[in-house]
Structure 1
Amino acid sequence: MRALHLTSHEIPPVLSDLSEPNPGPGQIGVRIAACGLNFADLLMMQGRYQDTPPLPFTLGLEVSGTVERVGDGVTGFAPGDRVAVFGGRDGLAEYGVFDASRAVLMPDSMSFEDAAAFQIAYGTSHLALGHRAQLQPGETLLVLGAAGGVGLTAVEIGKLMGATVIACARGPEKLEIARKAGADHLIDARSEDIREAVRALGGSDVVYDAVGGDQFTAAFRSAKPEARILTIGFASGDVPQIKANHLLVKNLTVMGLYWGGYLTFRPEVLTGSLAELFAWYDADRIQPHISHVLPLDRAMEGLELLRERKSTGKVVIRIPG
């Protein structure tokens, strides 16, 4: 099988020919149809992600495909089933072996491309806004990086939850995509003062930050008293340093959200969230935005689109059988 294999954090991964693995106990073997790219893939290439596997390994966190083989003890899956899997690795390949506990059956109405773009982006925003921040109808939600993979789903889900949504993104084209996803107010991060623009709109009750850096600081300073600030990621490359005494002035709460972490300590929260999200998809309430679909031999090009912030929503790699 072909796979985008990483052997060193000092050199780029290479499309390599590898042997197909066999599923062990509790695992399923999946003929991969599509893989969603994530900013975490870029961090893994550098060895900077919190869950970077030991070298060598194949990149690709989330996939969709068809079950071909099942290992001993697996129940609930059979050859021929269409599944979405958050494997955390091994997705940019023609075939993969994953723990069955990390797989879910896809709705019949869902395409492989949508499934590969779905779990991390929607799952992160749903858990962040609902489970962690407990966003309430009528509150104001500020989304930084609002046209990105997770940011766009935060706009969409925040609106479904009854919030007034302020979308912050770079340039009119990205802001138009956020508007179509339901944003009520738009802020251009390239040309506007985010702090003053949010203050002019009355401040925010919840901040969803996948960017970090100066944008975090502006959002922090423009938040309402008792606001909840969600740290999702740091696409800017700048991890903010928060002075604890500044939290006291407006009784602010800063909270982190690592979606994949729930698999290790509260998996029922994650699986319950995904079940609700799949039901929303089936009811046509949410729809993944995919700006690029590329073949496996152009996977590095897809990762560069993420690095250079030239994509919106998700980039998906289609993997032919």
Structure 2
Amino acid sequence: MPAVIEVHNLHKSYGDTVAVDDVSLTVQEGEIFGILGPNGAGKTTTVECVEGLRRPDRGEISVLGLDPQRDRAELTQQLGVQLQDGELPGRLKVGEALTLYGSFYRTPADPRALMETLGLADKSSTRCGKLSGGQRQRLSIALALIGNPRVAVLDELTTGLDPQARRDTWQLIEDVRARGVTILLVTHFMEEAERLCDRIALIDMGRTVVVDTPAGLTERVQTEQRIHFRPSVPFDDRLLTGLPEVTGVVHRGDVVVVTGNDNALNAVTSVLARNNIVARQLRVEQAGLEDAFVALTGRRPENERHASRNRPGRN
């Protein structure tokens, strides 16, 4: 499929602070492409250069065949943007905001249809300052789409939302993609990236660490399988530690945790069955995107509470 965004060897500094050291990525038409990384990794600076809001020190950027600096006026007609720190006047009404933003575009979407699609039909006369967190995010998406863009950039869209509002927003993003809009999604939430993204650029310390699918990133990590269960009767650990597929057995109260390779589950359950031991509440943990993140960056991602409390203005 044709590329709609191409970034090659992007660099951007603010004084002595290097925000983006060497970022390259390509976004294909129709995909949800994620930029994943910790706070301060250079994610927002990267997308601001893509949007034309920042002028890079060096590197090449093409969006829909346009240069974000030279062709900015034309690009704004085809690119929808939800800014990380966008703020609307509290007294402005939802319908008024969409009408105002729509006036900036040659062929805007119908504000009423957009509100209906995004679950804001009954909020047209509601002041922006009265909206809940989830409703504000729906409005952010609507404002990014009011110009009928071919590409939408969504920056830290669900930070600060409760889990249900976050999942509702994820569904909206999938619906937007179904309408034919290519999405560039900036996030530091592992679950969000796994749920939504076709491919991910993992960025850390201003550099592109790797670009791959969520499954591809996970496959890069040689992580042990973890098997949790409550045995129906006590047993000698040597029953399992003697298996070549098992690397360790530990007890956490009445729960047994077995670590091992990809074949450990079959080996463990077979031995337990032969010895008439029932593995109750059996649960298996496989390597996930967070494991890949830790392996590739050497540090853990921020959890939701930390990120919401300490969210910086730019990253």
Length-normalised TM-score, structure 2: 0.27
Q: Which structure carries more relative contact order (alpha carbon 8 Å, separation 6+)?
A: 2
Q: What TM-score comes out, normalization by structure 1 length?
A: 0.27
